[in-house]
Amino acid sequence: MSKKLHALLVGINQHHPKSKQVNNLSGCINDVKALQNLFESKFAHLQPQIKTLLDVEATQDNIIREFRAHLTASGNEQTTLLFYFSGHGSRQVMPQMFQKYTGGYHKEETLVCYDSRAWIDEKRLSHDLADKELGVLIEEAASTQAQVVVILDCCRAGSGTRSESRGDHSINLYDDWEPKEVGESEVKSCLERKYLDNYFENMYQAKEMITLPKGKHILLAACQRNQTSWVTTLGEGKSQAKRSVFTYQLEKVLEQNPVLTYANLFTLTHTKVRQHFQKKYASSTPPEQNPQFETYHFFNGQSYFLTGEVPPNNRQLVGMKFLSGYGWQVEQGSIHGLSGVTAHSQPEWLVYEAKNTTKPITEALTTAIYLKTNQVDVIGNILESNQHYLAELLSIPDSPLQVGIPQALPALEPTLVSLVQNPWLDYQLQVSDENYQLKKKNKVIASGANDEAKITGILNQIGRWHLLWQNQHTQSDFQAADFLFTFGVRNQDFLRVMYGSDETIVLNGSDYADGSKSWKIPYVLTAQNNSPRDVYFVLLYMNAEDYNIEVFANEYVPRHQQMVTLIDDDHLSTEDADLPTLDHFKLIASTVELPNYLFEQPGIAEDHQPTIKRSEQALPEDWLAKNLTVVVNPS
């Protein structure tokens, strides 16, 4: 557990006057001052030692020097070392000696320093701080056994410890909004650059190969690697100022509750950032800025922020077993919010022999994620293939559905939703000694006697519904255009072909009325496999009122197959013709057959829970999903 905090806070509003391809910002120094005040007031028990680098102080050389002098030199097992950067993020062409190690991705994310875009007499003063250079600094700091925390509030921040201008700011922005991104560095200067102390060049000369740094740390990123981080005016009254949206919301969460795990901090901050944009863009499409927390080299994302202390009795253990032909499988998959197998990041696990043991016997890394399980490589100790084990996730999964509660409810431990004290969420749960009530947008959707098992089951059913609906396996080798999904109305000219991954169709119920206020719309759903592989099509009907999931079709479809009909004998209808209806269909294309029970679940009004079934059958090699929502308005 950490007892001291050393922090290096970097904020860059103004860049060198000779800089090219970079605009100045307004809120980054305010971010640094706000975090310094937060650490000194809310984390005074950690005796914070804080060094700031602002504008002209934040040259590339100074950032590297102070990282080593102020952070690494102070590191030990009782210290947290925190590096924070608020400014421009970019990306640049990667030197050729790295390109064969990056799986075809030949760009690297960078932090734009005060002087890194300045040119004098056609000579570049410095370079951006590349992700691999920051990785070396992190590895040096982590070698001291300190807890290393990196917070990046800049564009392309996701995977920034290991970003090109989007060029499209046609979103309807408010006048004072600023994107924290700039264009790529000039290609020639990137290819010819030298890295930190010639670290990688020396390694290559000595070994004729390169290995990337492996420092244990956590990255708190303002956005994903393909997104923009935004600055705008935030706060009220005298406290109103230009601020970065992510840092501002992170600060506000920690002001209210400084004792949070990294996982809970992610959940709350992610929610506040998304709510901020949705409020500002209530009448239009909000810009995409999704905070991303990533753990590396078995950093425990379930530990407390800055102290590293692990909450007592808070371990969530899941089954782990060996399947012949597939290796070790952990019973947690994409419908539980697990994601992130990339060239830069993999979910990480601790493995235990039994539930009552506190010391793990080995570690494991996820190599592939399926719907309900994930495949792992075991690191270190050899496990017995005929024995079952338990695994604890160290990484932070995708933010699950959040349900608001008025006070802590320690007796409830749902695994597929997150309970947070937030009165502004769509879902709100009230529990008294005798009864409970669950609302969605102020409408009661479940209530009854206080039964912890029943409440937990209902919450998990709703969470599972949302996770399954949201999951489209974007890392698939398939493309959305490989599978055409078509909605039509029988005996009508209406036909809509879905080429992408998400689509909403709007119909008018009055066009199909039978003379009364009620109506029925006979519909047809078809699909076509244009891919070069044989697949199985699974069509799900997902009821958003009671969270029932039904399998409408499950069919084998050969490659390059003409259109096949999945359903043609059903109707869209309503019990209340004064209200719009929403029907949700999900098409899953998988290279192996998927049994119906993987998806089916009863509605939350039903008393029984779905039976847990096990199968030794083949796991999906690859799959892709498409979501179709049909909205029928009364008129």
Q: Look over the chain and give the mean of its residue pLDDT values, rounded to a whole number.
A: 83
Q: Report pLDDT for 160.
A: 53
- Domain residue spans of the chain: 4-296, 317-393, 402-464, 480-633
- 253-259-260-261 Cα dihedral, nearest 10 degrees: 150
We find that the CATH architecture of domain 4-296 is 3-Layer(aba) Sandwich (3.40)
**Domains 4-296 and 480-633 agree in fold:** no
**List of residues 6+ apart from 56 with CB closer than 8 A:** 14, 16, 114
Residue whose C-alpha is closest to residue 426's, from 411, 444, 439, 407: 439
Phi/psi zone of residue 616: left (φ > 0), alpha (ψ -120 to 50 degrees), beta?
Answer: alpha
Q: What is the CATH number of domain 480-633?
A: 2.60.40
Q: Report pLDDT for 103.
A: 52
Q: Report pLDDT for 616.
A: 41
Tokens of 500: 């992408």
- Mean pLDDT per 10-residue section of the chain, whose length is 635 residues: 93 94 92 97 96 97 97 97 95 68 66 93 88 93 97 76 33 52 52 70 77 88 84 88 95 92 87 80 65 90 91 78 90 76 76 88 90 87 91 78 86 81 88 94 93 91 88 74 91 85 85 69 92 92 93 92 86 72 91 83 70 43 81 76
Axis-axis angle for helices 28-42, 245-256 (nearest 10): 10
Q: Report pLDDT for 518.
A: 67
**Per residue in 71-81, pLDDT tens?**
999 999 999 99
Q: Report pLDDT for 597.
A: 79
- 265-268-270-276 Cα dihedral, nearest 10 degrees: -140
What's the CA gap between 529 and 589, in Å, rounded?
9
Q: Report pLDDT for 606.
A: 66
